[in-house]
């Protein structure tokens, strides 16, 4: 039996400079493949709002939906380090709500860490959730849940002043109890400085190679993704094209009656068809 990857393994990876491989995915079938490919970490991201539900931002995904899909991912990947994303309005209302809602991911979905998109206005929330025994991943840099305030997103930390603010914020978050960082869309130089100064693992999402690990969303890695893919995403496969080919081949086989064939059908037991035909004749 494989041992489950824990926070201690992630800290060891950081110390030994072994890059942590993380994937954001949302369902049982994909998570099984990610586990078979020996990733270290799965994040069930609120990007599910876009890539599963087809919304144009991450806001409209519910806590119940996130808990349900996260539990499915845990069933598929029992040994990977599992992180769940706190959806919009599941932690902004109060520290008590944050603890209660984050706790659901531990008790109902078996996660080991919960991710919050945070500014330094959320230090008390980080402290309260961490003190409740729930490890917090602080998501900094570009914060997709803040789209309404920001209007549009630009790379973060591109000036010395902005970079310094991000470095200070990260340090305050560590003091408040953050157990890991996800840093999105931030200048690579700044993400590296934060990583070097951070005692906890820092996962980069489009923030360059100098972090302790990397994360991309599964649909981008597979080449399935849509027009919403960010500039930093890279496809490592072409499953989008291959999926269209497979759906086309299926359609063609149905239309030409090559599918289903005998091998893909159930059959009556020997002699039962003749018996049925007799019964039908007698019934006429
Ligand atoms: O929601 C998500 O999948 C994320 C990744 C982009 C890191 O936060």
Q: Which domains does the chain have, with CATH numbers?
A: 7-237 (3.20.20.60), 243-282 (no CATH)
With 0.85 as the threshold, say if the pTM is over it: yes
Question: How many Å lie between the centroid of ligand 1 and the Cα of residue 59?
Answer: 12
Q: Tell the residue nearest (CA) to atom 4 of ligand 1.
A: 45
Quick check: CB of 117 below 6 Å from ligand 1? no
* Predicted confidence band of residue 1 (pLDDT cuts 50, 70, 90): low
* Predicted confidence band of residue 178 (pLDDT cuts 50, 70, 90): very high
pLDDT at 11 over 80: yes
Q: Please compute the mean of the pLDDT values over residues 72-85 and round it to a whole number.
A: 98
Question: How many Å lie between the centroid of ligand 1 and the Cα of residue 3?
Answer: 26
Report pLDDT digits (tens) over 238-250: 999 999 999 999 9
Percentage of the chain with pLDDT > 90? 94
Quick check: CB of 45 below 6 Å from ligand 1? yes
Q: Which residue has the tokens 């769940």?
A: 84
């Amino acid at each position: 039996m494989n041992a489950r990857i824990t926070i201690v393994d992630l800290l060891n990876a950081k110390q030994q400079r072994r890059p942590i491989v993380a994937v954001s995915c949302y369902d049982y079938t994909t998570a099984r493949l990610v586990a078979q490919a020996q990733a270290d970490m799965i994040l069930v991201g609120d990007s599910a709002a876009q890539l599963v539900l087809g919304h144009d931002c991450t806001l409209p995904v519910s806590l119940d939906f996130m808990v349900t899909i996260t539990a499915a991912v845990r069933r598929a990947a029992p040994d990977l380090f599992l992180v769940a994303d706190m959806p919009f309005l599941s932690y902004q209302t109060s520290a008590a709500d944050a603890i209660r809602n984050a706790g659901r991911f531990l008790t109902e979905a078996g996660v080991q860490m919960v991710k919050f998109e945070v500014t330094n206005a959320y230090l008390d929330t980080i402290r309260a959730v961490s003190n409740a025994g729930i490890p917090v991943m602080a998501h900094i840099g570009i914060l997709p849940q803040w789209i309404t305030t920001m209007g549009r997103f630009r790379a973060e930390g591109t000036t010395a002043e902005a970079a310094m603010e991000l470095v200070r914020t990260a340090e305050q978050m560590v003091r408040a109890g953050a157990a890991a960082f996800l840093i999105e869309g931030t200048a690579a130089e700044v993400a590296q400085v934060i990583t070097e100064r951070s005692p906890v693992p820092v996962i980069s999402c489009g923030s360059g190679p100098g972090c302790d690990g990397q994360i991309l969303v599964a649909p981008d890695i597979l080449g399935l993704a849509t027009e919403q893919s960010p500039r930093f995403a890279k496809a490592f496969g072409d499953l989008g094209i291959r999926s269209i080919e497979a759906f086309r081949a299926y359609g063609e086989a149905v239309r030409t009656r090559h599918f289903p064939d005998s091998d893909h059908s159930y059959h009556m037991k020997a002699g039962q068809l003749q018996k049925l035909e007799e019964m039908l004749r007698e019934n006429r």
